[in-house]
Amino acid sequence: AGPIRQSWNLDEKILIKSLYKMITSVSECNPVIVYIRDVNLLLGASDAACSMFKKMLSKLSGRILIIGSYFLESDADGDDVDEVVSDIFPYILETKPPKEETDLVKWKTQIEEDTKKTKGQIFTNMIAEVLSANSLICDDLDSLDPDDDLQTIASYVEEIMAPAVSYHLMDNKVPEYRNGKLIIPAESLSHGLRIFQESSSLGKDTVEPKDVGKKVTPDNEFEKLIRPTVVPASQIGVTFDDIGALADIKESLQELVMLPLKRPELFNGGLLKPCKGILLFGPPGTGKTMLAKALANESGASFLNISLSTIMSKYYGDAEKTIRALFSLATKLAPAIIFVDEVDSLLGQRDRRNENELPRRIKNEFMTHWDGLLSKSNERILVLAATNRPFDLDEAIVRRFEHRIMVGLPALESRELILKKLLSKEKVEEGIDFKELATSTEGYSGSDLKRIFV
């Protein structure tokens, strides 16, 4: 009924036909009640609209009930209803607020409760539909407040799902499934909402989520400095499908990062542990940064994009505090990916003769929190780094990258795939020989291939 009130700029015939198709389609399987608010606006729009509506009613059959509401002035009564409306709706029930003060209070309370219940059901259905489409089930959505968490989750459910699932799988060694769909509690959705709100700018009017059982320490001043580097997965906009080649590397990254998030029970033993460090190295323009973005997007992990300028400070000791804040914030946002592009500038070799004291302190602090005495084995934090100069990295840093993946220049078949991907959304002449074009671009990186068309 709501959309009807806003649609009179559309063709009336299309509107009535759409309404008819919707009613007949739903009524084939179930009884249908159609509620049209302000029905006088629908019927009074034009004689044509009224005539088409009558014709629609005459065609309807089966278990269908159409209810219309009509708001009158406080001093009016049922006799003041438009003849057009009363002609189509022969049964008119007049409802007025009670005159007695006690009854009026009860009436208002009941209206508020009914409104809240209706809103809750609408939001619940919206969330359940999106979850089901993504092979998820939540049985206790009713436990959420319709005016608080439930409404906000319904608005951002697609962005919330990934961190919610990650949070649930982290805390449940043996996940439950029903009909092939993962069962997650409403608590996980609330946690996903908190992560999404903390890592995005929803504005001052955003509803703050309630505590879901784990106390979250407010950000200190250094964590607040790091917070702007957090990029929500929903805002990255890059997927593995956007990368034209590198199939083997994409598969490796999915196994190393996605598997621990989806099947955490496989990593509860003593030997098999989630990966804590991945280094992507190779020539410039081969897609290292793009791979990192796609990985963060598809894993649903919080993405912290760090550079040397983020860490450095002119005040003594602040750089080390920023490093500590980086890992403490990542712990709050876990599962999280700390991405360091051009990592050689931040974690290069420690040269006692030529190196300043500050870079050495930064590297020591970083290693201590990443994989040292202050690190925890159960933390879901991955350090993902990219560099064009892997030999400039400190040996201790390289050792902590458990997996080092070379992203080299694309081969002939890969160049052909990249060219097809680059031109897939462009208007080009038919009959382009991509194989010949790929052959003539020997030694080109993915970035070089893109520049051909710019």
Res. 373 pLDDT band, cuts 50 70 90: low
Residue 73 and residue 152 in one domain: no
Model confidence pLDDT, tens digit, residues 177-212: 888 888 988 888 888 888 777 665 443 333 344 444
Count of Cβ atoms closer than 10 Å to residue 260 Cβ: 22
Question: In this model, does residue 57 exceed pLDDT 70?
Answer: yes
Residue 424: domain span: 412-452
Res 208: pLDDT: 41
Residue 254 and residue 360 in one domain: yes
Model confidence pLDDT, tens digit, residues 23-41: 888 888 889 998 888 887 7
Res 213: pLDDT: 43
- Least confident interval from 6-20, 232-246, 334-348, 370-384: 6-20
Residue 18 and residue 55 in one domain: yes
Question: In this model, does residue 115 exceed pLDDT 70?
Answer: yes
Residue 58 and residue 161 in one domain: no
pLDDT above 90: percentage of residues in the chain: 4
- Within a domain: residue 437? yes
Residue 78 and residue 114 in one domain: no
- Within a domain: residue 277? yes
- Least confident interval from 13-17, 71-75, 247-251, 283-287: 71-75
- Within a domain: residue 382? yes
Residue 424 and residue 372 in one domain: no
Spatial CA neighbour of 53 closest among 69, 66, 71 = 66
Res 202: pLDDT: 40
Residues facing residue 449 across a β-bridge: none
Res 375: pLDDT: 57
Q: What is the mean pLDDT of residues 298-316?
A: 79
pLDDT above 70: percentage of residues in the chain: 82
CA distance 290 to 233: 13
Query: How many domains would you assign to the chain?
Result: 4
Q: What is the mean pLDDT of residues 51-71?
A: 87
Q: What is the mean pLDDT of residues 10-33?
A: 81
- Within a domain: residue 138? yes
Res 281: pLDDT: 93
CA distance 322 to 221: 9
Residue 234 and residue 145 in one domain: no
- Within a domain: residue 211? no
The domain boundary residue, chosen from 406, 425, 442? 406
- Within a domain: residue 215? no
- Within a domain: residue 206? no
The domain boundary residue, chosen from 96, 122, 140? 96
CA distance 450 to 202: 34
Model confidence pLDDT, tens digit, residues 256-273: 887 776 666 667 666 667
Residue 8 and residue 73 in one domain: yes
What pTM, to 2 d.p., does this model score?
Answer: 0.55
Q: What is the DSSP code string of 95-157?
A: ----SSHHHHHHHHHHHHHHHHHHHHHHHHHHHHHHHHHTTEE-TTGGGS-TTTHHHHHHHSH
Residue 127 and residue 184 in one domain: yes
Residue 326 and residue 438 in one domain: no
**What average pLDDT is seen over the chain?**
79
- Within a domain: residue 133? yes
Phi-psi region for residue 336, left (φ > 0), alpha (ψ -120 to 50) or beta?
beta
Task: Specify the CATH number for the domain of residue 395.
Answer: 3.40.50.300
Residue 64 and residue 121 in one domain: no
Residue 387 and residue 289 in one domain: yes
Res 206: pLDDT: 38
